[in-house]
Structure 1
Amino acid sequence: MSIQDIIEGKKQWRAHVARVKALPPDYRIVYQEMQRYLFKVGPIDLLDGDLLRGILDFFEEGVAAGKGVLEVTGTDVAAFCDDLIKDSPTHADVYQESLSQ
């Protein structure tokens, strides 16, 4: 990974964070909790993949449609997150495999 890759990654992350800050407070709180949850148990390629960007796009569409955040995610936000990552290898899966070996 070159210095340019690191700089570009930081620019993209800052732009992402700015989009999150532009969300209404209820959406922002739920997004941040989802992000925290996914960083703990989420897929191995969370930062390299499009999951967080996709969630943010989905939330922005919900805001544009005038829906509340729980109308978009449902009342069980953890189950919503689990459904998003159900087919992705997670850190917990890797840990379980290492214990099995």
Structure 2
Amino acid sequence: MSDAEKSGFISKLIGPKKRWRAYKARVKELPDNYRTAVEAIERYLMHFVPTDEDSSASMFEDLADLFERAATDRTPIREIVGQDPVEFAGAFAENYSEGGYVPARARKQLTDDIGRAAGIETGTEDKSV
């Protein structure tokens, strides 16, 4: 393997990891309820992850952008994702990939997690789950 090939391989390997770490650091800085919502959507979106690493990184960076702006503007979570977070996440993912198979369990978990995050805002958090 030539030096140029090694360099290209290393940048492919490190580039996405660096972007992922930067994304995770941004999410960590969000207020608790927004972070909870982003992490729930992130878990769900893992079923849609594009094969193209750049598209995948862009999808998660755009998710962070959306929730950072919403936190700054104090936009309620339900105003962002609507009443059906599964529909929101599916539509969001369509911008980056063909989508994937999402098991019913993942859809239910996303709905429950967003309900919990939105409840934190309104003081009606469901702690039974």
TM-score calculated relative to the size of structure 1 = 0.75
d(CA) in 1 for partners of 2:12 and 2:94? 30
1:39–1:46 contact (8 Å) kept in structure 2:
no
Which is greater in Rg?
Answer: 2
Q: State the number of aligned residues.
A: 91
1:21–1:28 contact (8 Å) kept in structure 2:
yes
d(CA) in 2 for partners of 1:43 and 1:14? 17
* Cα distance per residue 1:68-88 (max 9 Å; x no partner): 222222122111011123463
2:82–2:88 contact (8 Å) kept in structure 1:
yes
Structure 1 partner of 2:16:
9
d(CA) in 1 for partners of 2:16 and 2:53? 10
> How far does residue 26 in structure 1 lie from its aligned partner after superposition?
0.8
Tell me the percent identity.
30
1:67 counterpart = 2:71: no
Structure 1: tracts of 5 or more residues without a match? 93-101
**RMSD between superposed Cα atoms in Å:** 2.0
Structure 2: tracts of 5 or more residues without a match? 1-7, 102-129
Moved over 4 A (4+): none
d(CA) in 1 for partners of 2:98 and 2:72? 32
Match of 1:89 among 67, 81, 98: 98
